[in-house]
Structure 1
Amino acid sequence: MNLSDPIVEAWSAGGVVDAKEACRILGIKAATLYTYVSRGMLHPVAQPGRKRRLYLRDEIEGLRSRSLARAGHGAVAASALQWGQPVIDTGITEITPDGPRYRGRLAAELVEYPGAFENVAELLWTGILPNGPGTWPAEPLPAESAARLRALMAGLGEAPGMIRAFQAVALALGGKSVDEEVRHGAPITAAKQLVQAFAGCCSLLSARRRYRAPTGDKPLAQHVAEALGHAPVPELVKAVNAMLILSADHELSPPTFSARIAASVGAELHACVGAALAVLSGSGLAGGCDRIEDTLAGIRTRAQLDAWVSQVMRDRARSWAFGIGSYPQGDPRAKQLIRMAREHPRPTRRAEMLFRFLEAVQSEVGVPPRIELGLVALCSAWDLPAGSAGALWAMGRTAGWVAHALEQRLNGFFLRPRGQFHPVPQGGAVLKS
């Protein structure tokens, strides 16, 4: 599949820059740029069949922000919120070239052992990784909360967006003050109950189209598989666990930052998760999974597939599903999930179409996929209903949001960035100082 150079160049002009432009942004000479590369501070983007080196614009801008911060420029505070200097100390997750490390443990390895989301969630919350796979026995909801949940679910309609359904659950189960939550020692219990309720919401995506409360002493991944209308065979349970674990946390992503802001002003746990869900619903995050699934569902022919690849190039693919500043050489989470999808003995036609799409984009531009595409690929391979990828991302990330909310409470200060005021004239243009 060949794309014309103008399309590739149009994409490259927005998402990646050449060496000359990188030097201009950084205010350095070419020799210094190559020194940064040799020291691992910058990572050129692979371009199959091309000699020219390209660089991720986000990585270049991030290096510039860090350089300015070290030089003591006060105005860099604003750019620090765009892949600049860290703005919050945290002991939860570190982003490394091999993927996120939860409390010092590589997420990719946690997928293999203990391989259970419950253990990983407790690691994030307490710093202790329980030995061996464990389960959280399902506990009935309090009568008042259950009634509220039924009423909210009835108002969602037959095919609600899953983030909206999760927000309804958080609203139904919340309501207590943070004082009550803390004094009764309830945060961890509330967190488990919330995640289990999200698993019950997954039944809204199945043929049942109604909430299915988890029951019995089963792994959470089994509850999810059954709610989605599938037999919980061990291979599927492993796949669901992998998606939940690899989604569990990613440092200070925008939704996580929102959860921490809510926690810093004394919001109770459900409200913190609700704030994060509102941000996650954006098309640049979990909404991106839905966008990929919707597009994939409409692909029937090779010509349609070619058109999708070309459209992604024109839209600068990296802005929504390809490339991420955290991993210049590729998102390890996406690689792991796509590998698991390819290992399925009987992948669906949807999955095979997505594999061809990924191969085409990779061969033309060389920028690897993000976790959204990994989640959609594995869900497609197992023929999980549309909406599952975004739902599993939100479920998994809830563990991280809870951990960050609890950590932020211990910090004891409000998160309150400052604004830099610029007067706006009557015509609407901003006056820059």
Structure 2
Amino acid sequence: MKDQAAPGDVPAASAPQRLSTRETAERLGVKPETVYAYVSRGQLSSTRAPDGRGSTFDAAEVDALARRTGRREPSPATGDLVFRTGITLIEGDRYYFRGVDATELAGQYPYEEVAEWLWTGVLRPGIRFMAPAEALSAAHRAVESLPAHSGSTDRLRVAAIAAATADPLRFDLSREAVLAGARSLIPTLVEALPLAAGGRSEGSEGVASQGAADGTGAQLARRLWPKLTTRPADEPSIAALDTALTLLIDHDLAASTLAARVAASAHAHPYAVVSAGLGVLEGPLHGAASGLAHRMLTEVLERGSAVPVVADHLRSGRRVPGLGHRLYISEDPRAQALFALLADVPQAARALAAARDVVTTTARHAPLHANVDLALAVLSVSSGMAADAGETVFAVSRTAGWIAHALEEYGERPLRMRPSGQYTGPRPPQPLPTATDVPPRSSYGPHSAQR
């Protein structure tokens, strides 16, 4: 159970961000002199800087002007794609949702409240997302038609598409319509998933009766639990699952989020935006990475030590799953928060010890710290979940983040993400191909997981 917040603990909207003249010019893609020309024409307001030197400008007003003038995104010196976002900041081995420490939010508020706050800036205690009957019926039928061996992300993608067909107003991209669709899509994805192992657990019956009794539906984590495992749900385990959902809502422009923003840039409807994110999430270097950590942790428990398991990975040239993150020097803060909660779950003790053994053993070879994949693996292994359970948690959770990014992108200049390709093929003119031509085999270089 999450601690109840005092009235003064509600995340407040931060003060409007102020930009210097130089920062304003960079956002607009113009020279500083042009900024003052905008001021003189009444297109931009300025305030004298506190030190009396220069002026400051309201960031929201600058962004609105940038959209009206249709400026092109300035190219960063690094050559990497950079997009302004007010959702997540990763800095100093911590990460923040709209300026608030994300791990503190996850420890204080449940998933649905944090998602709603991230979208709207308003905290709504006790909010529950509900699946419309028509959308849920369509999603159920579509998911049930899939082969038995289908993975959880297969089912989620199909459920999202089916829910879209049940929403004739899905092309309405107004903020109110997008938010209404998001509040219904997330629970539809959860409810469309089959019960774990095809049976009904004691915990799932309790969840169903609770939702029917109060007419509002149970907390999303409680509804998701019986889809992941047949074991009864205890409060510490539900708290851990809910926290995992909250921690994973967003993580800056990860690969799936970038895909979602590209779709939103083309003014695809929210269901298509989520489908784009799900398509990328399934990669083994992204959302599916927790499944690799699950299998490794299971093997460590079976063999009684991390040493032979880590040695096998190193001998075969494979990365040790669940370790290291390109954005953090020390331990992933999401892993820290989840490990702390799992320490209160008695049945997680062995898996938690095995995870620590993996970290300690690998440290002899490379100073890598645990990431959120390893923490998700502890949760899934100790709760009797399938290997892809972490991927399911990740997908359901990140749907809220994709919607937040879509809301931002709908306010930007459409189709702005159009990089130019650097052609490296043979120069024309080339002769027409013949049946004997054999294309060269593609080669794949090393990659690292990016969450």
Instruction: State whether TM-score is above 0.5.
Output: yes
Relative to structure 1, is the Cα distance of residues 385 and 352 closer, same or farther in structure 2, using a 3 angstrom cutoff? farther
Q: Distance in 2 between matches of 1:417 and 1:146?
A: 38
User: Hey, what does 2:128 align to over in structure 1?
Assistant: 136
Q: Distance in 2 between matches of 1:74 and 1:98?
A: 26
Q: Distance in 2 between matches of 1:183 and 1:406?
A: 9
User: Hey, what does 1:389 align to over in structure 2?
Assistant: 390
In structure 1, which of residues 406, 409, 422 is the aligned counterpart of residue 424 of structure 2?
A: 422
Q: Which has the larger radius of gyration?
A: 2
Relative to structure 1, is the Cα distance of residues 328 and 263 closer, same or farther in structure 2, using a 3 angstrom cutoff? same
Q: Distance in 1 between matches of 2:271 and 2:200?
A: 24
User: Hey, what does 1:100 align to over in structure 2?
Assistant: 95
User: Hey, what does 2:199 align to over in structure 1?
Assistant: 208
Establish whether residue 189 from structure 1 lines up as the match of residue 180 from structure 2. Answer: yes
User: Hey, what does 2:403 align to over in structure 1?
Assistant: 402
CA deviations over 1:349-388 (Å, ceiling 9, x no partner): 5454333223322344221022111111123333334322
Relative to structure 1, is the Cα distance of residues 165 and 429 closer, same or farther in structure 2, using a 3 angstrom cutoff? closer
1:139 deviation in Å? 4.2
1:407 deviation in Å? 0.8
User: Hey, what does 1:328 align to over in structure 2?
Assistant: 329
Establish whether residue 224 from structure 1 lines up as the match of residue 220 from structure 2. Answer: no
User: Hey, what does 1:27 align to over in structure 2?
Assistant: none
**Which residue identity lines up with residue 221 of structure 1 in the other structure?**
A
User: Hey, what does 2:366 align to over in structure 1?
Assistant: 365
CA deviations over 1:216-256 (Å, ceiling 9, x no partner): 42211111224333434321221111100111100101100
1:113 deviation in Å? 1.1
Q: Distance in 2 between matches of 1:411 and 1:279?
A: 23
1:316 deviation in Å? 6.2
**Which residue identity lines up with residue 367 of structure 1 in the other structure?**
L
Aligned 8 A contact 1:202 1:391 in 2 = no
1:413 deviation in Å? 2.2
Establish whether residue 165 from structure 1 lines up as the match of residue 155 from structure 2. Answer: yes
Relative to structure 1, is the Cα distance of residues 340 and 149 closer, same or farther in structure 2, using a 3 angstrom cutoff? same
Aligned 8 A contact 2:186 2:399 in 1 = yes
* Secondary structure, counterpart of 1:158 in structure 2: coil
Q: Distance in 1 between matches of 2:183 and 2:142?
A: 20
* Secondary structure, counterpart of 1:346 in structure 2: helix
Q: Distance in 2 between matches of 1:164 and 1:265?
A: 24
Q: Distance in 1 between matches of 2:411 and 2:76?
A: 29
Per mean C-alpha deviation after superposition, the further-off stretch among 359-368 and 235-244 is 359-368
- 1:81-100 correspondence runs (5 A): 81=81, 87-100=82-95
Aligned 8 A contact 1:244 1:393 in 2 = yes
* Secondary structure, counterpart of 2:173 in structure 1: helix
Q: Distance in 1 between matches of 2:193 and 2:363?
A: 32
Q: Distance in 2 between matches of 1:147 and 1:129?
A: 30
Q: Distance in 1 between matches of 2:76 and 2:177?
A: 42
* Secondary structure, counterpart of 1:347 in structure 2: helix
**Which residue identity lines up with residue 112 of structure 2 in the other structure?**
E
Establish whether residue 199 from structure 1 lines up as the match of residue 190 from structure 2. Answer: yes
User: Hey, what does 1:278 align to over in structure 2?
Assistant: 279
Relative to structure 1, is the Cα distance of residues 230 and 135 closer, same or farther in structure 2, using a 3 angstrom cutoff? farther
CA deviations over 1:83-109 (Å, ceiling 9, x no partner): xxxx11111111122432111111110
- Structure 2 alignment gaps of length 5 or more: 1-73, 431-438, 443-451
Relative to structure 1, is the Cα distance of residues 75 and 260 closer, same or farther in structure 2, using a 3 angstrom cutoff? closer
CA RMSD of aligned residues (A): 3.3
Q: Distance in 2 between matches of 1:179 and 1:208?
A: 34
Aligned 8 A contact 1:244 1:396 in 2 = yes
**Which residue identity lines up with residue 105 of structure 1 in the other structure?**
V
Establish whether residue 125 from structure 1 lines up as the match of residue 119 from structure 2. Answer: yes
Q: Distance in 1 between matches of 2:143 and 2:323?
A: 34
Relative to structure 1, is the Cα distance of residues 319 and 252 closer, same or farther in structure 2, using a 3 angstrom cutoff? farther
Aligned 8 A contact 2:267 2:414 in 1 = no
Relative to structure 1, is the Cα distance of residues 287 and 224 closer, same or farther in structure 2, using a 3 angstrom cutoff? same
1:146 deviation in Å? 4.0
Q: Distance in 2 between matches of 1:123 and 1:408?
A: 18
Given the two structures, how large is their TM-score scaled by the length of structure 2? 0.68
User: Hey, what does 2:343 align to over in structure 1?
Assistant: 342
**Which residue identity lines up with residue 95 of structure 1 in the other structure?**
I
Per mean C-alpha deviation after superposition, the further-off stretch among 353-362 and 328-337 is 353-362
Relative to structure 1, is the Cα distance of residues 315 and 400 closer, same or farther in structure 2, using a 3 angstrom cutoff? farther
Q: Distance in 1 between matches of 2:327 and 2:316?
A: 21
CA deviations over 1:244-280 (Å, ceiling 9, x no partner): 0111100101100000000110111011000000100
1:318 deviation in Å? 5.8
1:174 deviation in Å? 0.8
- Structure 1 alignment gaps of length 5 or more: 1-72, 82-86
CA deviations over 1:177-198 (Å, ceiling 9, x no partner): 7774336943222212221122
* Secondary structure, counterpart of 1:324 in structure 2: coil
* Secondary structure, counterpart of 1:417 in structure 2: coil
Per mean C-alpha deviation after superposition, the further-off stretch among 253-262 and 381-390 is 381-390
Q: Distance in 1 between matches of 2:399 and 2:76?
A: 34
Q: Which has the higher contact order (CA 8 A, sep 6+)?
A: 1
| Percent identity of paired positions between Structure 1 and Structure 2 | 26
1:341 deviation in Å? 2.3
Q: Distance in 2 between matches of 1:201 and 1:191?
A: 15
Per mean C-alpha deviation after superposition, the further-off stretch among 385-394 and 210-219 is 210-219
Q: Distance in 1 between matches of 2:129 and 2:422?
A: 50
Relative to structure 1, is the Cα distance of residues 357 and 188 closer, same or farther in structure 2, using a 3 angstrom cutoff? same
The alignment covers a number of residue pairs equal to: 347
* Secondary structure, counterpart of 1:249 in structure 2: coil
Relative to structure 1, is the Cα distance of residues 252 and 314 closer, same or farther in structure 2, using a 3 angstrom cutoff? farther
Given the two structures, how large is their TM-score scaled by the length of structure 1? 0.71
User: Hey, what does 1:109 align to over in structure 2?
Assistant: 104
Structure with greater helix percent: 1
